[in-house]
Amino acid sequence: MKKVRFIYNPYSGENSIIGELDNVIRLHQEAGLTIVPYRIQKGRDLEEALDIIDETYNYVLVAGGDGTVDSVVNAMKNKDINIPIGILPVGTANDFGKFINMPKDIEEACKQILESKPVAVDIGKINDKYFINVASSGLFTDISQKIDENLKNTMGKIAYYLKGIEELPNFRKLKVKVSSKECEYDGEMYLLLVFNGKTAGNLNLATEAEITDGKLDVIVFKAIQVIEILPLFIKLLRGEHLDSDKVVYFRTDDVYIESSEDIVTDIDGERGPDFPVRIQCIKGGIKLLGIK
Examine the residue annotation and report whether 270 is marked as an active-site residue of this protein: yes
Q: Please name the residue ranges forming H helices in the chain.
A: 21-30, 66-78, 95-99, 106-114, 143-146, 149-155, 157-166, 226-238
What is the dihedral sign for C-alpha 202, 203, 205, 208? positive
CB 61 within 8 A of CB 68: no
CB 83 within 8 A of CB 287: yes
SS3 235: helix
CB 95 within 8 A of CB 66: yes
Write the DSSP symbol of residue 51.
T
CB 94 within 8 A of CB 274: no
Instruction: Give the separation between CA 250 and CA 243, rounded to whole angstroms.
Output: 11
From 20, 167, 240, 270, the catalytic residue: 270
Side chain identity at residue 131, one-letter code: F
The contacts of residue 185 (CB under 8 Å, 6+ apart) are 176, 177, 178, 220, 248
Element (H, E) at 236: helix 226-238
CB 178 within 8 A of CB 220: yes
Instruction: Give the separation between CA 106 and CA 6, rounded to whole angstroms.
Output: 13
Residues classed as catalytic: 270
